[in-house]
Amino acid sequence: MMLNVITSNITPQKFTLEEAELVQDKIEGKIEFMDGLIIPKEGKNPIPPEVILYILSEQFNLDSFQNQFDMPKSSYNHKEILRQLNFLLSQQINHSTYGYYVNDIEISRKYTGYFYMPDLAITLQDSRIYDDNGHLTNPKSIIEILSPSTQKKDRTEKKAYYQSLESLEEYLLISQDTYKIEQFLRKGKTDWIVKVYDSADQTCIMTVGVKLKLSDVYQNTNWFTE
C-alpha cells in the first residue's frame, strides 16, 4: 500500500503553500489550501498527512495513488448545473468586457497562504490580476454549487474569504437538489445583502448582466420536470 513507502518519523499536520501547489500538480486533481491543510475541492476533510507525504515523496506513483485513494467527486447534478451555467454565460456574457473560468482557477488574496477553487469565477477581461503562483486575485463574481460535503465550507470560511476580496461584487450559492439560488451582493465596502430565488420561473440577474432563469439552470438535473 502507498502508506508503507513513507519513512519520515514525524508526520507534519500542516503544509506550505509550495507543497500544496506541488501536490496539485502531481495528483492532477483539484484541491484547496486553507491554514496549512490540503483539502479536495469536492470534500470537507483534509487529505491525511501520511498521504500528502507519500505524494511529495520520490516514490509517488500516480496510478497507484488513483487506485488507492478516492478523491471526492462531484455529483451528476453538480456537473449538469455547471455545464448549463457555462452554456448560459457563453451565450449572454459580454466577452469583450468579462472573462470567466469554469472549475479551473484558484482564487487567492496576496500573502495569505490560502487558495480556493470555485466552480465558476468571472473577472474583467483586460485587468485580470494574478499572484506569483498564477492564482486570480480580483474576481468580480463567484459561483459555488452546494453539495452535502462542501456546503458548510461554502457558506462559512469560503464565503468570508471571497467577500474579503475588494474586487468581489457578488457571490452565488446554487443548490443542486431543489430550486434555490442565493445571491450575495456587495453594498458599500463591507456590507452585503442577500436575494433568494426559489421557484422555476424566477430569474437571478447577475451583476455582470447574465440572466439565470432557474428553469434553465436546472433543466438537465435528474429531478427536473417541465
Per-domain residue ranges of the chain: 2-68, 76-217
Mean pLDDT of the chain: 92
Contact 107, 128 (CB under 8 A): no
Phi and psi angles of residue 130, each rounded to the nearest 5 degrees, phi first = -120, 150
Q: Coil, strand, or helix at residue 173?
A: strand
Q: 1: which residues sit within 8 A by CB, 6+ positions away?
A: 68
**What's the DSSP call for residue 20?**
H
The pLDDT of residue 12? 52
Least confident residue range of 56-60, 61-65, 107-111, 187-191: 107-111
Contact 38, 144 (CB under 8 A): no
Q: pTM higher than 0.85 for the full model?
A: yes
The pLDDT of residue 167? 97
Q: Is the pLDDT of residue 7 over 60?
A: no
**Has domain 76-217 been given CATH number 3.20.20.150?**
no
Burial 37-50 (b: 16+ CB within 10 A, else e): bbbbbbbeebbebe
E-strand ranges in the chain read 31-34, 37-40, 98-102, 120-124, 141-145, 170-174, 181-187, 191-197, 203-205, 211-213
What is the mean predicted confidence (pLDDT) over 11-22?
A: 85
